[in-house]
Structure 1
């Protein structure tokens, strides 16, 4: 059964048994969403203290790794090997290990942290929100075609406007429920005038 992504899905659990991703060829062959512009998307590595920030970055479609089990040295090496900007609140890490590309996060609130990242790195807004899994960081599928949408989504949300997507990494399903609207509103409060208008 495809998992419901808790950040986006708010509909009641359906009594229907949904097919697992590996049992449904309509899901298995879906391509990942392609970037909508020619811009190179930023890539980040977040330390263990920044899990909530990592989810917001993923919501914006930005590839953001997070592994609480990594010690500081391995985190820095991995970020450099994968050409990621290291995001951390650990002054000791920055002082002793001197990563090549890093940003010290100054705030406690995750939306203020996000605003700091966007402003200090002068990041352009993504063409679209909700194109990456906020849980496992995998790029989501292209919008589900009607047949797969009907097969996978609970009956009470199939008619909601907006695309539905599948995560090929962990099997979660994403659609534009009330959580998505609230998160967009939170982003607009944190970064007034920054997001692109919805089509």
Structure 2
């Protein structure tokens, strides 16, 4: 890659991969309602790397930038994307909403944490953020530790400590 953060467009078959890419902070669009020509048009127009398992789409519609995803398993798919595109690890995980792809803003203030977080997680260390797009709230709980561990198993030594 050229040093700029990659931007992806994932086809409908790659929803779980799209979520993992978002965990890594990479702008990844996913709209299952788009037909193939519109998906390719938008990926080209927005200068995104189109990720697909659909060989017919690649052969017939010829997106400008694309990667054929071959594995069925989302973490294997992620490893293949990272290695094929020689992607650098992100400085921080969990900076983008895994549901709607919006960048997550600065962490919640202590007063916002008190109001927005469930009582049992208010005192957890680390930032908590609310998505400006869909309102979902993120914090570094056990799910974040499990996801980081899955990433470490998938890409050993790739993430910063």
TM-score by length of 1: 0.79
Q: 2:20 aligns with which of 50, 53, 56?
A: 56
Instruction: Indicate the residue corresponding to 2:140 in structure 1.
Output: 176
Instruction: Indicate the residue corresponding to 1:93 in structure 2.
Output: 57
Q: CA RMSD in A?
A: 0.8
Q: 2:4 aligns with which of 15, 19, 40?
A: 40
Q: What's the secondary structure of 2:144's corresponding residue?
A: helix
2:114 is equivalent to residue 145 of structure 1: no
Give the whole-Å Cα distance in 2 for the aligned partners of 1:75 and 1:149: 38
Q: Which runs of 4+ in 1 moved over 3 A?
A: none
Give the whole-Å Cα distance in 1 for the aligned partners of 2:108 and 2:91: 18
Deviation at 1:40, TM superposition (A): 2.0
Give the whole-Å Cα distance in 2 for the aligned partners of 1:188 and 1:160: 22
Deviation at 1:117, TM superposition (A): 0.4
2:75 is equivalent to residue 111 of structure 1: yes
2:53 is equivalent to residue 70 of structure 1: no
2:84 is equivalent to residue 120 of structure 1: yes
Instruction: Kindly indicate whether structure 1 or structure 2 has the higher relative contact order, using CA contacts under 8 Å at least 6 residues apart.
Output: 1
Q: 1:189 aligns with which of 144, 153, 157?
A: 153
Deviation at 1:155, TM superposition (A): 1.4
State which structure, 1 or 2, has the greater radius of gyration over its C-alpha atoms.
1
Deviation at 1:106, TM superposition (A): 0.9
Deviation at 1:73, TM superposition (A): 0.5
Give the whole-Å Cα distance in 1 for the aligned partners of 2:109 and 2:35: 42
Give the whole-Å Cα distance in 2 for the aligned partners of 1:92 and 1:84: 19
Instruction: Indicate the residue corresponding to 1:3 in structure 2.
Output: none
Give the number of aligned pairs. 159
2:47 is equivalent to residue 83 of structure 1: yes
Give the whole-Å Cα distance in 1 for the aligned partners of 2:113 and 2:61: 48
Q: What's the secondary structure of 2:150's corresponding residue?
A: helix
Q: What's the secondary structure of 1:55's corresponding residue?
A: helix
TM-score by length of 2: 0.97
